[in-house]
Amino acid sequence: MRYLLDVNALIAYGFRRHDFHDRVGAWIQTRKGDRFLTCSITELGFVRVLGNFRTYGMNVAHAKSLLRELKAWKDLPLEFIKDGNDISALPPWVTTPAQTTDGHLLQLASVNGAVLATLDEGIPGACRIP
Per residue in 44-98, pLDDT tens?
999 999 999 888 889 999 999 999 999 988 778 799 999 988 888 889 999 999 9
Walk me through the domains of the chain, giving residue ranges and CATH numbers.
Answer: 2-128 (3.40.50.1010)
Give the residue-averaged pLDDT of 123-130: 96
- 84 Cβ partners below 8 Å, 6+ apart? 111
Sign of CA dihedral 83, 1, 116, 10: negative
Give the residue-averaged pLDDT of 103-116: 96
pLDDT for 56 equals 85
Please, what is the average pLDDT of the chain? 93
pLDDT for 79 equals 93
Between these two residues, 4 and 55, which has the higher pLDDT value? 4
